[in-house]
Amino acid sequence: MNAPTTIMSRPVTGEDNLLDRLGFGVVAVHGSTIIRASDRVGRMLGQDAERLIGRDLLTLLADGDDIARLRAWLVSAYDAPVGSASRELLTRPDGMGRCWRILLHELDGGSQHTRAIVLTAAQAETAPATEVQAMELRRTVRNLLDANPVAAFLISTDHVVMHWSRACEAVVGYPASGMIGTRNHWKPFYDHAQPVLADMIVDGLSYEDACKVYPGPLSRSDRVEGGLESFSYFPEMGDGGRWLLFTAAPVRNAQGGVMGAIETVVDITEIKRAEQALRDSRNQLEELVSQRTEQLVVAKRALEEDIAKREEAEQSLRTRYTELTDLNMKLAEANAQIQAAQNQLVQNEKLASIGQLAAGVAHEINNPIGYVFSNFGSLEKYINEMLTLIARYRTAEPQISDPGLRAGLADLREKLDLDFLEEDAQALMRESREGIERVRKIVQDLKDFSHVDANSEWQEADLHQGLDSTLNIVRNELKYHAEVVREYGTLPLVHCLLSQLNQVFMNLLVNAGHALEGRQGGRIVVRTGCDQSEVWVEIEDNGCGMSEETLGRIFDPFFTTKPIGRGTGLGLSLSYGIVQKHNGRIEVDSRVGQGTRFRVVLPRRQPDEAPALQEVGV
């Protein structure tokens, strides 16, 4: 079919004769403005040829971003080799798609030779499918860049701006219409032509050479392979100047060759202002600290003088205090037995209340834990079924005929890190199940440990079960100081008040843990055993031990070696009373620096029991 020809040349004579001699539609332009058009061109474009003069040819051939792209090609076409060709798929303003074949010819104008651009048009539906796809891909890339809130522009290998995003227009204040098809991408940033990061990328400069050329600070990008980064302050940009962060990276084709470069521009002015504000605040703080220090020095001198006066007054008070202390000691001895009895009653009431509260809390927690555990099993089953389905989908993925869909699935799988999700989901389920089972065990042990209903009734009980429940309750108290080793023997069921014995075991275990604080290699051994008439429970540690003087007072009420606030001095005293109530005894063996061993000995049968008792193994 006939096609219009665009002639771009230096001024020539006899141009009208040249246009008339061509056997196809011809149009002569200055830049892209029509200065002459043949009648055949007018018929092709549906207008009178004379009315075309003065109009922009590009707006008649294309629409939207295609105009800027075609304009860039025409600007560079004059210097291209004769015979160069390009195929461009364009959309006219009337919505009709055409595939233009653009050729660079040298026309014979009689005594002169004139370079001309020949454009041959075909309907879009007759164009090769690959060109249609290429056009759609270019439009998609442009749309993605325009939709991205990060400012960016794209240049070709000959440093011509191919795209200038809307965000870039907003940040630097230059419209895309004045940039696309030009080499003026330096203008928003500098007052004279000099390379930006994208120019050095397409020129293939090494990092060392780029540092010599680039006017600002430069670093390699740790986020983009082969990329460069820099930041600069532009005092004339915006209100009060702007700080901009630049990142440039190569754009490669399928073979890995560089076909251009993309550069992003991020406004970091607020970050820089925040950093400056932080520095100003730090300087103000340092100045304030200096002032406060001087004030403290003055206050210290005044305080020292006041202390000297107080020491004189305190010396006189010490004398009076010594006299009062002697009187108070006599009074304390008289009240000690009364206080001991009262406190033992109070402690027993507290233990009963705590046990009742613990049993109630354990019961309330146990109900939701039950259905959480049940639902967790179903959830674990559903996740395993979903993972099986995903594996089947992955096996069927190569059978997908659409390469775009297949590539999208592969990108999504890599983005989600599906292999890690499958492995981590199973690990999370295992850990969660272990956690829920541990909560159930703690709740059960808390119920067993409380046994409020057994406080006033004797029963046949398994001491091993009581020890395990108690160890679980005090686990948090011991796990940072000691390794707990169980060396259980075979014990019969013992007629006892198990909740009270659990209190004895807890006091001994907590004391052993305190004795191991600050020591490496702490170890607590819990042993059990029996003979024909007695059962015994030993709790041994390798802690600090006790002196002979301390051993003589450990069962006295209110005696403690712990710091103020950590012990009441009633733990061993109450334990001693509980064991005596069971017709048993507590034996102690301790050496300073080596450790302590407590042995609780109980009768296999209370005096009023029948001789036959069931035995339980470990």
- Condensed to tens digits (0 to 9), the pLDDT of residues 5-51 reads 444 433 333 444 445 455 556 666 676 777 777 776 677 677 777 88
Burial class (CB in 10 A: 0-12, 13-18, 19+), 100: buried
559 or 108: whose pLDDT is higher?
559
The answer to whether 169 and 56 are in contact (CB under 8 A) is: no
Neighbours of 118 (CB within 10 A): 19
Q: How far lies 75's CA from each of 57, 387, 528, in Å? A: 14, 57, 98
Whether pTM exceeds 0.75: no
Kindly state the average pLDDT of the residues 450-476. 75
Q: pLDDT (tens digit, 9 = 90+) per residue, 192-241?
A: 888 999 999 999 998 998 888 888 889 998 888 889 999 888 888 878 78
| Structure confidence at residue 599 (pLDDT) | 93
For residue 84, pLDDT beyond 60:
no
For residue 418, pLDDT beyond 50:
yes
Identity of the residue numbered 365: I
The candidate with the shortest Cα–Cα distance to 63, out of 101, 98, 102, 36, is 98
* CB hemisphere CA count around 540 (13 angstroms): 16
| Structure confidence at residue 311 (pLDDT) | 87
Q: How far lies 64's CA from each of 47, 86, 160, 165, 389, in Å? A: 22, 19, 18, 14, 46
| Structure confidence at residue 39 (pLDDT) | 74
Give the DSSP H or E segment for 530.
strand 523-530
Token output for 135? 């056009």
608 or 605: whose pLDDT is higher?
605
> What distance in Å separates the CA atoms of residue 201 and residue 187, rounded to the nearest whole number?
18
Q: According to DSSP H, which parts of 148-194 are helical?
A: 166-172
DSSP conformation letters of 305-364: HHHHHHHHHHHHHHHHHHHHHHHHHHHHHHHHHHHHHHHHHHHHHHHHHHHHHHHHHHHH
> What distance in Å separates the CA atoms of residue 273 and residue 278, rounded to the nearest whole number?
9
Kindly state the average pLDDT of the residues 479-490. 88
DSSP structure class, residue 222 = S
Give the DSSP H or E segment for 280.
helix 269-396
SS3 assignment for 5-33: EEECCCCCCCHHHHHHHCCCCEEEEECCE
Q: Is 120 left (phi over 0), alpha (psi -120 to 50) or beta?
A: beta
Q: pLDDT (tens digit, 9 = 90+) per residue, 161-202?
A: 888 888 888 888 889 888 888 889 899 988 888 899 999 999
Average of per-residue pLDDT values in the chain: 75
The band of 331, judged by pLDDT with boundaries at 50, 70 and 90, is confident
Q: pLDDT (tens digit, 9 = 90+) per residue, 511-557?
A: 888 888 878 888 899 999 998 889 999 999 988 888 888 777 777 76
Kindly provide the residue ranges of all beta strands, DSSP E only, lying in 78-186, ordered along the sequence.
Answer: 85-91, 97-108, 113-123, 151-155, 161-164
Over pLDDT 90: what percentage of the chain?
Answer: 10
Among 10-24, 368-382, 529-543, 565-579, the least confident range = 10-24
The candidate with the shortest Cα–Cα distance to 259, out of 271, 269, 249, is 249
> What distance in Å separates the CA atoms of residue 92 and residue 490, rounded to the nearest whole number?
97
Distance of CA 265 to the CA centre of its chain: 26
What is the Cα Rg of the chain in Å?
A: 46
